[in-house]
Every structure is written in structure tokens, then in C-alpha cells.
Amino acid sequence: MKPVEKFLEVHSQLTRRFFIGIGTVGLASLAARRAAVRADEFAPELIESVSKLESFMTPLDKFNDVSRGSPVPHSLTDEKRIEAGLTRETWRLDVISDPDHPAKIGHPLTMANDTALDFKGLMTLADTCAVRFSKTMTCLNIGCPLGTGVWEGVPLRDVVWKTKPTENLRRLFYYGFHNNEPKQMFRSSLPIGRVLEDPGDIPPVILCYKLNGQWLSPERGGPVRIVVPEAYGFKSIKWLTHLVLTNLAVANDTYIDGNNDVDSPLKTFAATLSMPKEVDSNRSIPVTGYAQVGISGLSKVQVSVCLKGTEPPDDPMFLTAD
Ligand SMILES: Nc1nc2c(c(=O)[nH]1)N[C@H]1C(S)=C(S)[C@@H](COP(=O)(O)O)O[C@H]1N2
Ligand SMILES: [Mo]
């Protein structure tokens, strides 16, 4: 089998089995014809286009990066990274109560008291409760996914429970290394209910330390980042250093300042990747694209072709089109 044929076969099986219509958080590249079509039935034009598609699992070096900071934390020298606690050997996580809106906790984890969680402590938790799931990282305001991979980590709730919370806990607020400049802090938050339990079939929110079986790189937020399976990228804080248990009931995410719905789960959307500029009559038209499967699921992706100027009137979604 030629590599492209193998790709199409494996791809259509996986697509059918895991992604189409099950409302999971994933990414399926789609060819214009039905996924069930055998590879050798594809038009040569389409085979060429499909051969240029990325796999739905993104190689580590192909992930796109959305990182704020000056300097960007992943550009620090090894020496600075050690100093900043951004290596597995030097990483420490403070888990404290919010001084302004305190939650009642029995056992804060702090660097000052030498009780902060270190990477060894995280790995001890991982021995018994590590989880892995596939997820597409998507920025809320970039029109194309950043990458899809298998993320591994420890459920955030297992670290929260270590602080022995008892009362007045409504939200978890978290942030990462930001060059010790308050103005550079990139922060996010979750209702405590989402941290302690998982609605429906979604996996837990994790303290993530591996992507595709490799230690999380500085670019992806290593040594430890948050990953929220159902949410847009801005909830998945990189270079994590602080968890704050708060009695505040409202979100204080960095992205709230951008006129965003910060509680929105990932949405379903599709886009074309390639379309020929000119086509011949009576020839196949190769069209490739991808669909991100969000909270509403996905049953199919359709493509419609018509002459310019003959688009169906009052039907921007081509719902009545051929
Ligand atoms: N500390 C920190 N975490 C962060 C960001 C950041 O700038 N700083 N960017 C966020 C945004 S807006 C997105 S979309 C994702 C992108 O993740 P990636 O760079 O691993 O693709 O990281 C999020 N986590
Ligand atoms: Mo983002």
C-alpha cells in the first residue's frame, strides 16, 4: 500500500470510530468524499491533495504556539529556567487560599513553609491516578486549531484535596510564571465543581506533564501546565506556579478583558484547507478540510459547489443547496 492509501484507510476507520458524531473533543481531517470510500476510489486529484494533509495527530514540532510574556518564558536560558523553577528539578507549586476572598483550607502548600508540591510529589500522585486523553488545543480567537495530541497528567482535584478544604470554596484561580511582573500575569479560573467532578464523559482537568508520551516542552508550558479538556486554550495555563482557592464566584480570566465568553466549551467548526483556483468541466474537484468536533458533536461535513453569483438566496449555510 502506498503511504497515502494507508493514511486514507487508517484515517477513515479512525474518523468513523472515534470522531464523527460522538461529541468528543477531537479533530478529524476530512476529504470531500465520504470517509467510507476506499482509498483506490479517490480521484487522483484528491489523492494528491490528501497527501498534503497533516495527520489529525500533530507532530510535536508542528504545534502552534500562543505565548505572552516579555521575554516569553520558553525563551529563557537554561540558567534562568532553573532560577524560575521551570525545570522538573526546580518546579514548585504553591496552593493557597485567596487572601482577599479566603476559602477555608487546613493545609496550604507553600514554598515559604516548604510544603509546596514539587515534581517528585506530582509523580507520586501520577503513580496511582495519572490520566491521558486526546485533545485539540484551540485558541478562542485564532480561526484554526493549534494542534491535537495526547495529554497526560494528574487530576487537579487530587492536588486540591491535599489542602484539606472545608468551607467557602467556590472557584479555583490559577496562573504561571510571568517574569515576576504582575502586568504580565496570564491567568484563568474554574468553578470548583468542575475541578472536583467531571460532567458527562469528559476527562478531568489535569496538571499536565507529558504530551504524546514526551515530557512537556518549555514551548508547550513545561514542566507543568493545566489542561482543561473541553475548553479553549486560554484555560490551559502554561508554566504553572500557583493555584489559589477562592470564595469569589466570578471568573477573573485574562481573556475576560477581550469581550469573550470565558465559559464556552469548544465549538464544532469546519474549514477548507485546499480548493483549486480553477477547475475543468467534468473533472473531479479536490477539496480538503478539517472539522473540530466540539460540544455539539458532528454528524457530517458537506461541500457544495456552484457558480459564482448563483449562490442560493437567503441561505448563507447552503442548507438548501445540492
Ligand atoms: N502562562 C501562559 N499560559 C497560556 C498562555 C500564555 O500566554 N501564558 N496562552 C494561552 C492561550 S491564549 C492559548 S490559546 C494556549 C495555547 O497553547 P499552546 O501554546 O501550547 O498551543 O495557551 C494558553 N496558556
Ligand atoms: Mo488563546
> Domains, the chain, ranges and CATH?
3-57+267-292 (no CATH), 60-258 (3.90.420.10)
CB 105 within 8 A of CB 166: yes
Q: Would you state the pLDDT for residue 34?
A: 38
Place of cell 476507520: 13
Q: Would you state the pLDDT for residue 308?
A: 86
Distance CA 69, CA 179 (A): 8
Distance CA 236, CA 228 (A): 6
Residue 137 CB–ligand 1 contact under 6 Å: yes
Residue 288 CB–ligand 1 contact under 6 Å: no
Residue 177 CB–ligand 1 contact under 6 Å: no
Distance CA 162, CA 171 (A): 16
Angle at 158 between CA 207 and CA 95, to 5 degrees: 70
The answer to whether the Cα torsion of 211, 229, 259, 245 is positive or negative is negative
Q: Is 22 left (phi over 0), alpha (psi -120 to 50) or beta?
A: alpha
pLDDT tens for the 322 residues of the chain, in order: 555 565 556 555 554 444 433 333 444 443 333 344 455 567 787 888 888 787 789 999 999 999 999 999 999 999 999 999 999 999 999 999 999 999 999 999 999 999 999 999 999 999 999 999 999 999 999 988 999 999 999 999 999 999 999 999 999 999 999 999 999 999 999 999 999 999 998 999 999 999 999 999 999 999 999 999 999 999 999 999 999 999 999 999 999 999 999 999 999 999 888 888 888 888 888 888 889 999 999 998 888 888 889 888 899 888 888 7
Containing H/E element for 51? helix 44-51
pLDDT digits (tens, 9 = 90+) for 144-180: 899 999 999 999 999 999 999 999 999 999 999 999 9
Q: CB-based burial of residue 19 (10 Å sphere; 0-12 exposed, 13-18 middle, 19+ buried)?
A: buried
Q: DSSP letter at 112?
A: T
Q: Which atom of ligand 1 is nearest to the CA of 176?
A: 1
Cell, residue 23: 461529541
CB 136 within 8 A of CB 26: yes
Distance CA 7, CA 31 (A): 12
Q: Which atom of ligand 1 is nearest to the CA of 68?
A: 7
Q: Would you state the pLDDT for residue 57?
A: 92
Place of cell 477539496: 287
pLDDT digits (tens, 9 = 90+) for 34-44: 344 455 567 78
Q: Would you state the pLDDT for residue 16?
A: 47
Residue 239 CB–ligand 1 contact under 6 Å: yes
Distance CA 97, CA 99 (A): 6
Residue 223 CB–ligand 1 contact under 6 Å: no
Compute the distance from residue 197 Cα to the ligand 2 centre, in Å: 25
- Beta strand pairing status for 92-97 and 240-246? parallel
Q: Which amino acid is at 215?
A: W
* DSSP H helices in 168-319: 192-196
Number of the ligand closest to the Cα of 151: 1
Which residues 6+ apart lie within 8 Å of 161 measured at CB?
Answer: none
| Torsion angle defined by CA atoms of residues 28, 200, 267 and 176, in that order, rounded to the nearest 10 degrees | -100
